[in-house]
Amino acid sequence: MERNLKLILRYDGSPYHGWQMQDNAITVQQCVSEAVERILSKKVTIYGCSRTDSGVHANTYCCNFKIDTDKNCEAIRKGIDAVLPQSIAVLDCEDVSMDFNARFSCKGKEYIYKIWNSNVKNPFLTNYALHYPYYLDAEMLDREVKAFIGTHDFSAFCAAGNTTSTNVRTITDCWVKREGDLITFSVTGDGFLYNMVRIMVGTAIYIGRGKIKEGTIEEIINSKDRTRAGITAKPHGLYLNRVFYDDLKMPDGN
């Protein structure tokens, strides 16, 4: 009897060229597909909740595949987890309805971006946080980024190559906080454009450095002009932290 299995993953994106399968590069999707085939002796199509870019991490990542097997979910989870690289973990496996799709059933996502804000680099965060040596006022930036909240056309925060039919997205929460030298930027919404979060972070950094005037995020959004926003922050500070679905309990990310 065919089943639809949902996997919850956590992965370090440093060794991979993103999630999506590619012909000439190692990706997370490829590793998961090969692990499933090895454990269940069948080829499957893995559907992922997001196309994370090269070097981007995931504290919580949801994917699903359909297969005919009578193995119980915990045995499947343990088996797949055991043969995956150390950089990918399987947190959970469960049966879901046959119409569930990790991408199209997703109702929202939360991303976080980590900045090591010190004039001394942290070698333990080389691949896991952006090192930015100039002081950033996290409290001021927290006030500034609240302008992202709401339903807007985010064309000014979208990289070239975006293929979505509309650039309108709804942001439900956005904040910045500091813990010691580590600054965390968080944003939650119903969906995100290509490089949108990284451009939001880059804009916040430019505001913090005085390269973009305080109080102008709303103007930048309304301009729909990519040149008005800040840089695209590097990928290694970005994490898909949580994904949201109707009637499905999901891990809390960090």
Residue 122 tokens read as 């942290």
| First CA to last CA distance, the chain | 36
pLDDT of residue 248: 66
What's the rounded Cα separation, in Å, for the pair 249 and 252?
9
Closest to 79 (Cα-Cα) out of 51, 39, 106 = 39
CATH code that applies to domain 108-242: 3.30.70.660
| Contact criterion met (CB below 8 Å) for 8 and 61 | yes
**CA 124: distance to chain centroid?**
21
Topology of the domain covering 2-105? Alpha-Beta Plaits (3.30.70)
pLDDT of residue 253: 67
pLDDT digits (tens, 9 = 90+) for 1-58: 899 999 999 999 999 999 999 988 999 999 999 999 999 999 999 999 999 999 999 9
Same fold, 2-105 and 108-242: yes
pLDDT of residue 79: 98
Q: What's the burial of 36, exposed, middle or buried (CB within 10 Å: 0-12/13-18/19+)?
A: buried
- Mean pLDDT score of the chain, rounded to an integer? 95
Read off the pTM: 0.94
CA atoms within 13 A on the CB side of 118: 14
* Domain segments of the chain as ranges: 2-105, 108-242
What's the rounded Cα separation, in Å, for the pair 254 and 232?
24
Residue 94 — pLDDT band, cuts 50, 70, 90?
very high
Q: What is the DSSP string of 128-148?
A: TSEE--S---HHHHHHHHGGG
Phi, psi of 33 (to 5 degrees): -60, -45
For the residues 158-181, what does the mean pLDDT come to? Answer: 91
| Catalytic entry in 12, 23, 53, 173 | 53
Instruction: Calculate the alpha carbon distances from 73 to 7, 11, 31, 219 in Å.
Output: 10, 20, 19, 50
* Active-site annotation holds for 23: no
